[in-house]
C-alpha cells in the first residue's frame, strides 16, 4: 500500500489522522512470527502487543516472547500491554550506556559488526526503534557474549 501506490507513512498518517507510529506498527504486523501472528488473529493479543513483539529482530525470540506474553511469564495469566513492555525491556533489550567495551569496535570475530553497525542496534533501525532511545541492543544474548569476549581480551593483555 505504501510504496507501490506512491504513499508515504507520513502521507497515510495525515490522510487517516493517525500517528506515523500507528501506521508503521500496522504495516509491520505482517512480519510477526507464527505464534504471535496466530495469537493476534485469534484475538489473544492486541495490535499494541503485536507491535512490541514484531520489533524483536529474531523470529524465534518473537515466538518466545509471544508465549511469555500469553502465559504471563511467571504469573500464569496473559500480560497487559504495560506488563509486556516492561517484560520486553527486562528480557529482550540491553541498554548500551555504560557498556564495558567500545561500541565502535568489532569484538566478536564471528559477528561482522560493531555495536554501532549491528542490525540489532536500535539506532540503526529507526523504523523499528524501541521508543525514542537509540542506545539499546535488541540482542541481549549477543551483548553478553561481547562482554565475555572483551573481558577475555582485556585479561589476555593484562597477563602479557
Chain segment 3-18, per-residue pLDDT in tens: 556 678 788 888 889 8
- pLDDT tens for 10-56 read 888 888 898 887 787 778 788 888 899 999 999 999 998 998 898 88
For residues 140 and 1, which has the higher predicted lDDT (pLDDT)? 140
Provide the grid cell at 75: 504469573
End-to-end CA gap in the chain:
60
pLDDT tens for each residue of 141-151: 889 999 999 99
Global pTM? 0.73
Amino acid at each position: 500500500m505504501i510504496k507501490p501506490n506512491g504513499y508515504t507513512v507520513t502521507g497515510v498518517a495525515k490522510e487517516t489522522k493517525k500517528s506515523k507510529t500507528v501506521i508503521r506498527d500496522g504495516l509491520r504486523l505482517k512480519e510477526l512470527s507464527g505464534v504471535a501472528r496466530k495469537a493476534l488473529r485469534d484475538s489473544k493479543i492486541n495490535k499494541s502487543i503485536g507491535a512490541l513483539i514484531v520489533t524483536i529482530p529474531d523470529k524465534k525470540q518473537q515466538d518466545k516472547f509471544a508465549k511469555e506474553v500469553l502465559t504471563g511469564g511467571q504469573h500464569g495469566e496473559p500480560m497487559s500491554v504495560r506488563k509486556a513492555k516492561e517484560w520486553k525491556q527486562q528480557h529482550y533489550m540491553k541498554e548500551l550506556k555504560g557498556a564495558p567495551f567500545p561500541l565502535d569496535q568489532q569484538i566478536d570475530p564471528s559477528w561482522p559488526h560493531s555495536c554501532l553497525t549491528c542490525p540489532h542496534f536500535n539506532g540503526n533501525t529507526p523504523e523499528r526503534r524501541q521508543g525514542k532511545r537509540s542506545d539499546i541492543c535488541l540482542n541481549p544474548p549477543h551483548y553478553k557474549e561481547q562482554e565475555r569476549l572483551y573481558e577475555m581480551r582485556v585479561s589476555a593483555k593484562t597477563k602479557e
